[in-house]
Amino acid sequence: MMANSATRAVRILAMCVLAAVVAVGLAPTAATAVNLSPAESPTPFPTPSPTVYATPATVPTQEPTGPTTAPAPAPTQDVVPVSTPTPEPAPAQVHAQEEIISDGVIGAKWQLLGGAAGPLGPATSNVSCEQNLLCVQLFAGGRIYSAPSTGANAVLLTVGKTGPQWHASGQLSAFGYPVGDEQCAGNGCFQRFSSGLDITWNPVGGLQTVWTKGGIGGALFRFYGGYAQAGYPTAPESCGLVSSGCEQKFGNLRIVWSPASGAVGVWTPGAIGAAYARSGAESGWLGYPTSREICGLKAGGCYQMYQRGGIIWSPASGAQTSGGGIRSAWAGSGFENGRFGYPITDVICGQPASGCLQQFQGGVIYWSPETGAHGVIGGIRSLYDSLGGPAGGYLGYPLDSEVCGLSGGGCYQPFQAGLIFWSSVTGAQPVRGGMRAKYQQMGWHLSYLGYPASPEKCINGECAQAFQGGYLTWTPAASLDYRNSECTRLNDGGVKYSSGNASHVTLVYTAAYGQSYAGVAYCKRVAGMYVTEWTTNGFVGASGFKPPGVPSGPTRYNYSPTGSFSVTEAFGLGNPGTALPYRTLNPGSRWGGNPWTSTYNTYFESSSWVGYDENMWYFATRRQHDYRQGAVINYNRPPDSPIIQDAGFAIFLHENKVPTAGCISLDDWAVVDFLQKSTSGDRIIMGVAADIFR
């Protein structure tokens, strides 16, 4: 009894010495680990040996059973591992007369886990240590290892989730000794071993390993909160991806690694992860991720960077890819904080001239190899889109960004085949071709033309475009400019009478009834729009205009009629070069002014001058030369209407600018120019301004 007590005292003293040695932290020799190639890409799980332990009764018989009443068995070793093992400390031999002791750090750990009533059950061997101070003690349900740097940690072989795999897969030779206990949380468990491998288990992925010293495993714990936040692995690490890459999936996180990018995770159920998959993931144009998903942007946005671009997301815009020259232009505008906001589509290529585009909340950025990347926004963008953009329009790609700060708060943007100007008054309008050259020659918007007020309109080889202060026209012969006048009202519905699409329309108007002095605008139709050939002043009947629909009556009352009348013939002492049918006057030239005669309101010839007939030769040759050149206004006569007796006659446009008996009188130059430019069917619209203009 005394001998046994002495022996026990010596053993206790030895264990205390061992615990003291462990406490001072002497470094152990390195345990043998699985050969991993590359370092970031461990081989899959080592092939388990056939022996798997389900209950304490199945603990291998090779391990010491440790009975205290039977004769001491010969020393045995653990199960031979799959790969060449690093021998673990040999369990101490147990003899029948010896008592198994669990004390020191291992004993304390065993007691912490519930002792013999806990998952480990009773000890089946005494503590055994190697020279590197790695110690082990075997129990019915597992083992406890201790090392100076990690303390004591248990491997549960019967009730644990990860311990049986450790034992079946080679133990120390495959994984090393445990450096932490098995931890279970979040519907899964894991245990870390000295080799750098974790064994994990969860209902979805089953048993998996994670190489924590590699790029993927390191990233999992450095950046993504380990298993607690990322989830447990659902597949082993696998390699063979593009550019020698590897991947491993953890719950909703997929971590990918390549030599060039390192290891970065992509949240697979997230919007950014979905957009990455849509782009082809690492095999697509974006390549491997180079940053984590970063949030906190404007309006709750997030982004993630990749080798050749990025993906950006916001609740309003969704997740969209971003790269190349378009991304550079977007960056130059301030990314999502600038005028473009977030992208609302991916980059869309396959445009004309090998171009690409991307739509943003505030506009579109276009790119082509020839022009680079430039954005189009606001009213200019709306017009550009309506004109067909680069695909269906004539302007091509933008050459630069929008330039604002012009007079009147205007903006413009240059394109390959023209410009778009914008002002708050005119909106966005394009200018191109010959009219662009003429507009530039005149000083752009700083000339009297101001900003363009409409797109150009072309018909039969002629083009016209309205501006704030006038018009530009283009023909193969020349580009010309015209100031605005009342002619403009013919284009915007501001004239009550129809122009009849006449080649020329002359507007003659007074400010009020009873006035003879009149404004005159000679309007030319180009490409369906009327431009101002010239404006001048003149006179109408000395008594002014009659109201609309009221006959002017006999010329002796000096009234002019109101309305729209055609011009189909001219007269005078010699054709000045008009296209109108022209009558050269002679001494017998008369115009019938006597009602209820066959010659009323018609031309005829006579040697006499009777009643109210007009002697046209007299008025052409007298000093005032009224009829030296003139045109017939078809009031109260064909082709505009049948002749109504005593309703009025001899309504002409003629020279000698003085108040008349009902005609229109202009300066000589104006009458000659009128005749030289007019064609049959031209019209004259005349009356008080309030009666002919809206």
CATH code of 632's domain: 2.40.440.10
Distance CA 393, CA 388 (A): 4
Among candidate residues 201, 222, 238, the one where a domain is terminated: 201
Q: Place 171 in a pLDDT band, splitting at 50, 70 and 90.
A: confident
pLDDT of residue 94: 46
| pLDDT tens-digit series, residues 328-371 | 999 999 999 999 999 999 999 999 999 999 999 999 999 999 99
With respect to residue 412, please indicate whether it lies within any of the assigned structural domains.
Answer: no
pLDDT over 60 (residue 655): yes
Contact 673, 682 (CB under 8 A): no
Mean pLDDT in residue range 648-665? 98
Pairing of strands 652-654, 664-665: parallel
Q: What is the pTM of this model?
A: 0.71
pLDDT over 70 (residue 23): no
Q: What is the mean pLDDT of the chain?
A: 87
∠ CA 406-411-415, rounded to 5°: 130
Classify each residue of 434-447 as buried b or exposed e, where b means 16 or more C-beta atoms within 10 Å of its C-beta.
Answer: bbbebbeebebbeb
| pLDDT tens-digit series, residues 473-499 | 999 999 999 999 999 999 989 999 999
With respect to residue 89, please indicate whether it lies within any of the assigned structural domains.
Answer: yes
C-alpha dist (Å) from residue 636 to 249, 599, 632: 95, 13, 11
pLDDT over 90 (residue 9): no
- Give the chain's end-to-end CA distance (angstroms, integer): 132
pLDDT over 50 (residue 38): no
Other CB atoms within 10 A of residue 253 CB: 24
What does the DSSP assignment read for 139-203? Answer: ETTEEEEEETTTEEEEEESSS-SSHHHHHHTTTHHHH-SBSS--EE-SS-EEEEBTTSEEEEEET
| pLDDT tens-digit series, residues 284-318 | 999 999 999 999 999 999 999 999 999 999 999 99
CB neighbour list of residue 588: distance below 8 Å, 6 or more residues apart: 605, 606, 607, 617
Side chain identity, residue 381 = R
Domain residue limits at 82: 2-201
CB neighbour list of residue 539: distance below 8 Å, 6 or more residues apart: 516, 517, 518, 657, 658, 659, 660, 664, 665
Contact 136, 152 (CB under 8 A): no
Mean pLDDT in residue range 14-21? 33
Contact 611, 635 (CB under 8 A): no
pLDDT over 70 (residue 526): yes
pLDDT of residue 580: 98
pLDDT of residue 86: 43
With respect to residue 223, please indicate whether it lies within any of the assigned structural domains.
Answer: no
Q: Where are the beta strands (DSSP E) in 352-416?
A: 355-360, 363-368, 372-377, 403-404, 411-415
With respect to residue 92, please indicate whether it lies within any of the assigned structural domains.
Answer: yes
Among candidate residues 136, 170, 201, the one where a domain is terminated: 201
How many domains does one find in the chain?
2
With respect to residue 538, please indicate whether it lies within any of the assigned structural domains.
Answer: yes
Distance CA 127, CA 372 (A): 75
Residue 285 burial by Cβ neighbours in a 10 Å radius (0-12, 13-18, 19+): middle
pLDDT over 60 (residue 82): no
Among candidate residues 166, 201, 236, the one where a domain is terminated: 201
With respect to residue 187, please indicate whether it lies within any of the assigned structural domains.
Answer: yes
pLDDT of residue 109: 95
With respect to residue 648, please indicate whether it lies within any of the assigned structural domains.
Answer: yes
With respect to residue 217, please indicate whether it lies within any of the assigned structural domains.
Answer: no
Q: Which DSSP category does 668 fall into? A: H
CB neighbour list of residue 686: distance below 8 Å, 6 or more residues apart: 507, 508, 509, 518, 540, 545, 560, 561, 562, 563, 565, 664, 692
State percent of the chain over pLDDT 90.
82
Q: Place 37 in a pLDDT band, splitting at 50, 70 and 90.
A: very low
